[in-house]
Amino acid sequence: MHATPRHFLMCRPTYFAVEYAINPWMDPARPVDRELALAQWTRLRQTYLELGHTVDEIEPLPGLPDMVFAANGATVIDGQALAVQFREPQRADEAPAYRGWLEQAGFVVHDAKYVNEGEGDLLLAGDFVLAGTGFRTSHAAHARVQEVFGRPVITLQLVDPCFYHLDTALCVLDERTIAYLPEAFSPGSQAVLRRLFPDAILADLPDAAAFGLNAVSDGHHVVLPVQAAGLISTLRARGYHPIGVDLSELRKAGGGPKCCTLELRGAGR
């Protein structure tokens, strides 16, 4: 296994807050330390830079406290970008902001047409796109993904509302290997994952609840929450280089390293 330099888009949590509850992790009555959230996010960004990755930033907008979760802003493969359409109205205005940034950066952007929440539910794994549905991204969007990117799409049914996006229940480690929480998926989807990835790492519930699967891998280094101690040990035993980071403040809104990170694949300008 070897590391491949990546190109990421991130959004500074300038306006981060938990002002509403659109997933089981969010509690508006629970205090949020925005300065700590910014410090944790800054450390995540610096980790990527130290690993040799490129990080661009989109300007955060007031009134959009979840815009920090850049992974939900689009899906970008081979220089083509699929715009998003959020299910929840509280996040709707993030979609045109991300689309505008991508167009200005030179990416070809395709209309969403159906509800999809970007890399939250659409993860590239080798030649396939693993596509989650059940809570946010609509099943109809999966056909749109196949038409835009010309890659086979594997539908995966999520069944636990605590793992409402695919990227909270599954991490692509490299082109052949994933890590995932089996019980977050329907029986049929579990069977599909076993068939496609017989050597996958199976996470347990405590590590998944620590957002350990909301990780970012370059094929060798895996950046994940430091609280997922068991998964960190397993990754190390399998030959990966796990790097623990603390995003405890952002987890109050249901986010982790991957949620904060949109990968830009292929050339813009």
pLDDT of the residue at 268 = 61
Taking CA atoms, 206 is separated from 128, 177, 209, 260, in Å, by 28, 21, 5, 21
| 75 assigned to some structural domain | yes
| 26 assigned to some structural domain | no
Interior CA angle at 223 toward 220 and 224, to 5°?
130
Write down the catalytic residue from 53, 142, 221, 259.
259
Q: What is the CATH number of the domain that holds 92?
A: 3.75.10.10
List the pLDDT tens digit at each of the 269 positions of the chain: 789 999 999 999 999 999 999 999 999 999 999 999 999 999 999 999 999 999 999 999 999 999 999 999 999 999 999 999 999 999 999 999 999 999 999 999 999 999 999 999 999 999 999 999 999 999 999 999 999 999 999 999 999 999 999 999 999 999 999 999 999 999 999 999 999 999 999 999 999 999 999 999 999 999 999 999 999 999 999 999 999 999 999 999 999 999 999 999 997 65
- Asked whether the CA dihedral 249, 163, 49, 3 is positive or negative, the reply is positive
- Total of domains in the chain: 1
pLDDT of the residue at 217 = 98
pTM, whole model, 2 decimals? Answer: 0.97
pLDDT of the residue at 98 = 98
| 2 assigned to some structural domain | no
Active site residue 53: no
Range of the domain at 165: 7-16+32-263
Contact 13, 34 (CB under 8 A): yes
pLDDT of the residue at 269 = 57
| 269 assigned to some structural domain | no
| 268 assigned to some structural domain | no
Q: Which has the closest alpha carbon to 84: 108, 118, 122?
A: 118
Write down the catalytic residue from 110, 165, 171, 260.
165
Active site residue 110: no
- HSE, CB side, 13 Å, CA atoms: give it for residue 176: 5
| 186 assigned to some structural domain | yes
| 230 assigned to some structural domain | yes
pLDDT of the residue at 128 = 96
Per-residue exposure over 100-125, b if at least 16 CB sit within 10 Å of its own CB, e if not: ebbeebebebbebbebbbbbbbbbbb
| 22 assigned to some structural domain | no
pLDDT of the residue at 1 = 77
